[in-house]
Structure 1
């Protein structure tokens, strides 16, 4: 292999992976060890390091180095020369060219030629000719793959002209045993980048499995009408090995990635590039998946085509996708269609469309999902399961409740699939004639769904129709009991503050007010701001005091740069955080060390032997300081201008004791109020179930 570690670059998260440590540890190494290698580039937000130098440094520290997968070796080889969002577009065609070469009995390395130009640039061979040959040979049977190879060869030739980089990458690829596995590893790694096109043109693998599994076995043709990067087609290729695959997408580059992924597993597929809203229906497919973009603007031309269930308002384009999927189905066909959950409750023209679909038996099931099921949004979505053979049964309404599996968009794929699988099994059992009444589902007769005020939201039907099992009745009763006990416990050991009236008029000269900037260190605003364009590799969670923190008393955990700047404002115990909410100054005495401070929050750091922090925090909110707010739209205050009385330290401590006693009482009272609200909610929902009444009637 002509490439080596000296020509590969690695980012901080890659170093952490290589050393088997957390990204914060790498950050500490960089700031505390003068011998740590310096970045090879000048971008402080996205530093890149030589793999050779990092490896040598780790060995010098006797740190065990983890083996790197081929996917990361490839990424490290081209890192810094190709934008991360272009990795797949340029590497996948090279993997396909190697797959073609192996089918011919060789490899890319065998097809390279020795040229003087490449030798002068430090390389040995030229890969351009073999790539051109691969594209030409594949043009007939695999035109999308051939075009992708041609584009990658031309773009990389221009990008890496005068360097042996293309040949180095091809040599690495020639040593890979499982080309498809490396391709899927690259997909998984690229999806972690918030700016990756995967977030627009793809879905998590668990969600793609879910859309496929909702459709019953059988059929001859499986079509993904907006296939994007081919995630659902790859799932179908594995789960339905005998069925023909059809894919369509409006994005040419995304379609090329789909073609490359399927080519690498030697799975034939018919892939087309068209605007689904303007193309004519296909021949009729047995199984259809449609995971479309939401909120598209629809042209008059697109609206003019025939729509089987009616035309919604122009701004309600999300109701067109289920109709398109239904049009593409053949006899005994099934489709799963993703739509925004909000579309299920729309009235007017939208309600008319839903009514026609229900009356014709087109909708088999409606499944509402929690948030964080998608790569590009945390908003909840729903899935419609459609069918062409109208059944006499009603519509199965399913609501998958929120759980730890959906705590964020990066939750482990397998844990999400376990949640999805419960819905798949429930639907399969219902199709076999079993009852649809469970804790998360209910079968709704079509005549009820056709009522003028009916909506398709599963939650509303579960509340109205789903009977409570005996176990569930006991759970609800226990919830009410626990809520009542929690409230009783919250007020049981209340201690009223003492010395509530420990003040008296002062007959001497008024205590002077002085600017706090003369008495303590003042920082007008913090330095934290949320990273916007930094790669996810350079980001790690940090504790930050924000406006919300001043209400809750605790810092938030937000994304931040792994390498904190020298000028970052961080807290010390006893600091006073100051901000404005509406037209009011609010403060918080900080008890934590090392948290960052948001740009909307100021900081006062008093000397501990001269000021009582609780006393000072209250004085910063006094009326004379509230009058210093300025600004027309947004009220702001300069903490340095705030005035405080210079009382003796002993008096401050005495007043601080009163403040702390009443603050503690207020916290307990607020907690009791929250417990009371939870009790009221538990009682409300228990009575609404129809299975509870008063234990002792009045």
Structure 2
């Protein structure tokens, strides 16, 4: 039976997308407008409404968003199918039709033009409608929209490889392979094709001097819907130089047929923690060169399957031309005792070239730090060492920012550290370990157990830290000396206050709020000369955070009123309850993120340093706090300042300047103190500490300057004072 569009139901979230507002706004409309459509299904917590009635109400009340195009209105009809596979078949059908049309126009060179997708009448009607829309919306854009919505709807059922990680895996494979050309890339568990698409973007252009044969993209997936989507996606987006072949098959359990030609690169994110992967029926499989994987080690079955696909080439070193694989695996695969024998066999054969520990949050499941294994085809002469890289500390903000939110991943730092280690460079978090040292009772390949997070502290480092510490002490003393003469007034002082809202109405200041910038426009790291720093709500919690955007784009956006840039002397307020702060801007220009406000004062009526001193007081923020949503925020307009003449404001502002200088000196001193403490602790823990001048109470040191061990009896006698002496 064909799908009846008049019975299509939508949730509050879908209505919010149609209207271009938040879900809370839709809930408010339901309460405030008696004519808002009544629910036709769902539950009290998640009601559903008739799409046609909702669209009519939004049009009548002029609440349809300008950005809510035809695709936004089409998606609720697709979602109303209420089945993952039916929705997926629609997405695959649209992709197949668009890919077939593109190939017929000569825009693509592919292994085939269309993959059959069986559709029922309701699904076919949606495919036809989407293909008609693609004529105006664009074929690739239409397919991407539907695919992103489908993956987002079923994010807990379909694990995808994040695009930055896919790009990184392709870069690692290129570095490990060396200068050899890449003609064939495979993914035996391709899912929606993200890894193969990253490979196509890296190797689709033939290198100078190589043959002009198109890049071969080979994919397998046991889910027929996913394999159909991957096939269409690669045909649409892989470019003109790709031959695509995606098959619906279980790479482990189906009859193993080696590729018609050896594979140059394999990128794979295989299923993890599977028990029913074919342990019994595959007991005599010829792929288990390094041992039959135990039932609990399905990941090692995938590793051996991947190795069996690789081209042995002329050599399989980091600079050779043999096949290379990069596989994403759970961290337990590197250490579980059940897989020790297979890991040892892979090491002896020279198959494992590197193991990389990623930060938690780099890919699903986001709560653990996954590993990347860099594998090569076995060579007659195996390598002498394995590169182990720990990138778990490559984050933009400290892990204490929020208990419910993982800090941002610094993909640039991860890539630099890995590629430097693969090229033989030295640095923190990476080490080259001899194979003989790894072949022990455990054969543990966990990078954190071998790679130090930071380089050893040198004597010159200690001298520099002590110099910085002494300078910090002097700066703190100088900053505090001018404040030491201040005292508190006895008794109660009654001074009037004025709210920021009142100051705004009196035109003594103007307020502009920052916006949430698209993630693709934000860069991380040191701000370059052609960049503009970005102030976010995390600035008060993670001062190490460095984010920036392009200066030209920021200035144009400021002129167009899209988001504000700061100027010297503006007061900036972070209006999140957990990171509330206010200060006078001295590092302008900077862009402002979500929940960050710019207050520009009239200098003839307000002193900015005085205003910042009043606004930043914690009790002021508590009184102006709002708890109307799940996240506590501070209403900037409800903050108060003292009502004082401009001359007194300026006097108070001068005191606030000195206070800020002292806070800055204390923060710098605290940072140096932590570095100094960490360095000395590391020296103590490794037995590398020495004394240049010994205390008379300690036993004499050896000529090398290293401390001698002290007998336990001497320690007890030294810690227990004799009678009549003060401890």
Alignment partner of 2:334 out of 344, 350, 374? 344
Alignment partner of 1:229 out of 192, 199, 202? 192
Deviation at 1:329, TM superposition (A): 0.7
Q: Are 1:363 and 2:338 matched, yes or no?
A: no
Partner of 1:276: 251
TM-score when normalising by structure 2:
0.54
Deviation at 1:65, TM superposition (A): 1.9
Partner of 1:156: 123
Partner of 2:229: 257
Flag the structure with more relative contact order, 1 or 2, with Cα contacts below 8 A and sequence separation at least 6: 1
Classify 1:455/1:466 alpha carbon distance in 2 versus 1 (closer, same or farther; 3 Å): farther
Deviations 1:256-301 (A, max 9, x none): 1111112323643122333322414333211112221112224222
Cα distance in 2, alignment partners of residues 66 and 470 from structure 1: 64
Partner of 1:295: 273
Classify 1:327/1:4 alpha carbon distance in 2 versus 1 (closer, same or farther; 3 Å): closer
Listed as ranges, the matches of 1:19-34 within 5 Å are 19-34=19-34
Deviation at 1:4, TM superposition (A): 14
Deviation at 1:383, TM superposition (A): 1.0
Alignment partner of 2:218 out of 246, 256, 271? 246
Cα distance in 2, alignment partners of residues 166 and 309 from structure 1: 47
Deviation at 1:367, TM superposition (A): 0.5
Deviation at 1:213, TM superposition (A): 1.9
Cα distance in 1, alignment partners of residues 233 and 41 from structure 2: 33
Deviation at 1:93, TM superposition (A): 0.8
Classify 1:351/1:173 alpha carbon distance in 2 versus 1 (closer, same or farther; 3 Å): same
Deviation at 1:336, TM superposition (A): 0.7
Deviation at 1:427, TM superposition (A): 3.5
Is the contact made by 2:20 and 2:68 (CA closer than 8 Å) also made in structure 1? no
Deviation at 1:431, TM superposition (A): 4.0
Q: Residue 398 of structure 1 aligns to a residue in which SS?
A: strand
Classify 1:4/1:324 alpha carbon distance in 2 versus 1 (closer, same or farther; 3 Å): closer
Q: Are 1:397 and 2:366 matched, yes or no?
A: no
Partner of 1:504: none
Is the contact made by 1:58 and 1:65 (CA closer than 8 Å) also made in structure 2? no
Partner of 1:183: 143
Q: Are 1:215 and 2:155 matched, yes or no?
A: no
Deviation at 1:460, TM superposition (A): 1.0
Classify 1:398/1:50 alpha carbon distance in 2 versus 1 (closer, same or farther; 3 Å): same
Alignment partner of 2:285 out of 305, 312, 316? 305
Partner of 1:526: none
Cα distance in 2, alignment partners of residues 238 and 262 from structure 1: 11
Is the contact made by 2:356 and 2:371 (CA closer than 8 Å) also made in structure 1? yes
Classify 1:475/1:13 alpha carbon distance in 2 versus 1 (closer, same or farther; 3 Å): farther
Partner of 2:263: 285
Q: Are 1:374 and 2:363 matched, yes or no?
A: yes
Deviations 1:661-683 (A, max 9, x none): xxxxxxxxxxxxxxxxxx99998
Cα distance in 1, alignment partners of residues 45 and 466 from structure 2: 54
Q: Residue 336 of structure 1 aligns to a residue in which SS?
A: strand
Q: Residue 428 of structure 1 aligns to a residue in which SS?
A: helix
Cα distance in 1, alignment partners of residues 203 and 268 from structure 2: 17
Is 55-64 or 351-360 further displaced after alignment? 55-64
Cα distance in 2, alignment partners of residues 290 and 397 from structure 1: 19
Cα distance in 2, alignment partners of residues 474 and 19 from structure 1: 62
Is the contact made by 1:95 and 1:173 (CA closer than 8 Å) also made in structure 2? no
Cα distance in 1, alignment partners of residues 157 and 173 from structure 2: 27
Q: Are 1:688 and 2:685 matched, yes or no?
A: yes
Classify 1:369/1:473 alpha carbon distance in 2 versus 1 (closer, same or farther; 3 Å): farther
Is the contact made by 2:268 and 2:326 (CA closer than 8 Å) also made in structure 1? yes
Alignment partner of 1:447 out of 416, 420, 436? 436
Classify 1:235/1:470 alpha carbon distance in 2 versus 1 (closer, same or farther; 3 Å): farther
Q: Which has the higher helix share?
A: 1
Deviation at 1:326, TM superposition (A): 1.3
Alignment partner of 1:438 out of 423, 427, 431? 427
Deviations 1:403-436 (A, max 9, x none): 35899999999x64xx33433333333444x42x
Listed as ranges, the matches of 1:419-498 within 5 Å are 419-432=410-423, 434-435=424-425, 437-463=426-452, 467-468=456-457
Deviation at 1:19, TM superposition (A): 3.5
Deviation at 1:30, TM superposition (A): 2.2
Is the contact made by 2:323 and 2:376 (CA closer than 8 Å) also made in structure 1? yes
Deviation at 1:476, TM superposition (A): 10
Cα distance in 1, alignment partners of residues 42 and 196 from structure 2: 41
Any unmatched runs of 5+ in structure 1? 107-137, 158-163, 482-553, 556-590, 597-678
Deviations 1:18-41 (A, max 9, x none): 444322222232234323333344
Partner of 1:586: none
Cα distance in 2, alignment partners of residues 364 and 302 from structure 1: 27
Classify 1:57/1:239 alpha carbon distance in 2 versus 1 (closer, same or farther; 3 Å): same
Cα distance in 2, alignment partners of residues 285 and 94 from structure 1: 30
Deviation at 1:694, TM superposition (A): 8.5
Is the contact made by 2:38 and 2:49 (CA closer than 8 Å) also made in structure 1? yes
Q: Residue 264 of structure 2 aligns to a residue in which SS?
A: strand
Deviation at 1:204, TM superposition (A): 1.9
- How many residue pairs match? The answer is 459
Classify 1:181/1:60 alpha carbon distance in 2 versus 1 (closer, same or farther; 3 Å): closer
Partner of 1:198: 158
Q: Are 1:88 and 2:88 matched, yes or no?
A: yes
Is the contact made by 2:430 and 2:452 (CA closer than 8 Å) also made in structure 1? no
Partner of 1:621: none
Is 464-473 or 252-261 further displaced after alignment? 464-473
Q: Residue 270 of structure 2 aligns to a residue in which SS?
A: coil
Alignment partner of 2:305 out of 313, 321, 324? 324
Q: Residue 167 of structure 2 aligns to a residue in which SS?
A: helix
Cα distance in 2, alignment partners of residues 271 and 72 from structure 1: 29
Is the contact made by 2:343 and 2:443 (CA closer than 8 Å) also made in structure 1? no
